[in-house]
Structure 1
Amino acid sequence: MWYLLFEYVLIGPILRILGRPRVSGTQNLPTSGPVIIAGNHLTVVDSFFLVLLMRRRVTFIAKSEYFTGRGIKGAALRWFYSATGQVPVDRRGADASAPALAAAKSILRQGKVWAVYPEGTRSPDGRLYKGKTGLARVAIETGAPVVPLVMYGTLAVNPVGSRMWRPGKVRMVVGEPLDFTRYAGGENSKVILRAVTDEVMAALATLSGQEYVDVYAASVKEAA
């Protein structure tokens, strides 16, 4: 119920007015069965528009901190992730990625849609950065197709550091599904995981036109 209220009553109408969103390539989205949506990531509002524009229900793996934040922003994030049925995962510990990957595989084995940003964090400068291999491991183990999806214009609606959304024009382009079943059994091969990840990032770069940088975005942010 909350998911539908978000889309059609509470936040959805505001986003439609501010962003005037449009989507192309919807024929590339499977209408049933497990699907991995792999997107570029420019700003926080990307996730809001993705949930709004997808006809099927979308699930993200969200950091547990999003469910414990304080203040107005913390309350808004907590409400959004809880109301739309997103899955909180504690990423701290020796193997921080393990709980997130387990949760993602569970979502897909239920025939649902999992959305992920392979860069692992928002781009610090609008370029597309090296992808992390967790997506590849999940895709190989589950056999789910990976659908590349890119956003344009979300930075105008939600500039980095801004507290208020602004008018803009948001576009979403959905690419053709990528099938990695040929790599079945190769989820423990670093070479295969990197090859799959790089193929996904190449598809995102082609769709978005972003300059690709072969380093992790998190490393760039840490060095800044």
Structure 2
Amino acid sequence: MEPFYRTIIGLARTVFAGQGLKFTVTGEEHIPATGGAVIAINHTGYMDFTYAGLPARAVKRYVRFMAKNEVFVHKISGPMMRAMKHIPVDRAAGGESYRAAVQALRDGELVGVFPEATISRSFELKGFKSGAARMAIESGTPVVPMVIWGSQRVWTKGYPKRLGRTNTPISIAVGEPIAPFEPASDMTALLHTRMEELLRGVQASYEHPADEYWVPARLGGGAPTLEEANAMDAADAEAKAARRSKETEGK
């Protein structure tokens, strides 16, 4: 029993109800009832982590998400994140975060990971980092693929948040666990394939109005293509690096 985490989930569900969010969840039976597992989730919106824990409640379990260290140093969110045993990710000391996640898996926890690392502006699956596979291999635990669709309509990169009552439908699909195997690159490729299949599946039963910003170009929407989105991400990274360099020079 984890009273604080349970209370936060209860509050979140109240907020979701107030927003009129309509969840369709399939594949909850693939969440292991016991033991460690990496939960690999696609990333299209800022609220993804609040939705990704819902399928685990079918087996009365909690997901420990790997999240940016900035959230943990905040005076309000920091104590809350630590109380729920989430795992801080300090990009300057990534090894420590990785070891903490592996230990959590060995201790029998569910660890939530976003293999794309950043929000996909195209809403297609970006290339995956190998961390999810490497953690699974080292800890001897499976990776459970999960996709969320519709969360980009609530709040995503480059567009205003829509946190009022929008009655947005959100689909969540969980796939069969993938047992760990080497090399990590091959396991990562299989994970990407499985998640692509899940994503196409939930999209097939979801309405996609033409030209809407949240609809992938592949489905007739106004979102950039994956190639265009990757170019935008690269430009952002270059600009950020330039700012850091300038700040360093000014010290």
Band the TM-score falls in, shorter-chain normalisation: 0.7 to 0.9
Structure 2: state its 5+ residue gaps: 201-215, 219-224, 237-251
Q: Which has the higher contact order (CA 8 A, sep 6+)?
A: 1
Of 221, 229, 235, which residue of structure 2 is paired with 1:223? 235
- 1:172 aligned to 2:172? yes
Q: How far apart are 1:68 and its partner, in Å?
A: 2.9
CA distance in 1, matches of 2:96, 2:121: 26
Instruction: Specify whether residues 214 and 28 from structure 1 end up closer, same or farther in structure 2 by C-alpha distance, changes over 3 A only.
Output: farther
Contact 1:139-1:146 within 8 A present in 2 as well: yes
Identity within the alignment, %? 29
Q: How far apart are 1:118 and its partner, in Å?
A: 0.6
CA distance in 1, matches of 2:66, 2:229: 20
Instruction: Specify whether residues 215 and 196 from structure 1 end up closer, same or farther in structure 2 by C-alpha distance, changes over 3 A only.
Output: farther
CA distance in 1, matches of 2:53, 2:133: 22
- 1:112 aligned to 2:114? no
| Letter aligned with residue 51 of structure 1 | G
Q: How far apart are 1:213 and its partner, in Å?
A: 5.5
| Letter aligned with residue 47 of structure 2 | V
RMSD, aligned CA = 2.5
Structure 1 match to 2:189: 198
Structure 2 match to 1:63: 68
Number of equivalenced pairs:
205
Contact 1:129-1:216 within 8 A present in 2 as well: no
CA distance in 2, matches of 1:83, 1:152: 28
Instruction: Specify whether residues 28 and 214 from structure 1 end up closer, same or farther in structure 2 by C-alpha distance, changes over 3 A only.
Output: farther
Instruction: Specify whether residues 162 and 84 from structure 1 end up closer, same or farther in structure 2 by C-alpha distance, changes over 3 A only.
Output: farther
Q: How far apart are 1:17 and its partner, in Å?
A: 4.0
Q: How far apart are 1:63 and its partner, in Å?
A: 1.7
Structure 2 match to 1:44: 46
- The Cα offsets for residues 31-66 of structure 1, whole Å up to 9 and x where unpaired, read as 001111111000111100112442111001222111
Q: How far apart are 1:202 and its partner, in Å?
A: 0.9
After TM superposition, the score normalised by the length of structure 1 is 0.81
Structure 1: state its 5+ residue gaps: 184-191
- 1:162 aligned to 2:160? yes
Instruction: Specify whether residues 199 and 11 from structure 1 end up closer, same or farther in structure 2 by C-alpha distance, changes over 3 A only.
Output: same
Q: How far apart are 1:193 and its partner, in Å?
A: 1.9
After TM superposition, the score normalised by the length of structure 2 is 0.73
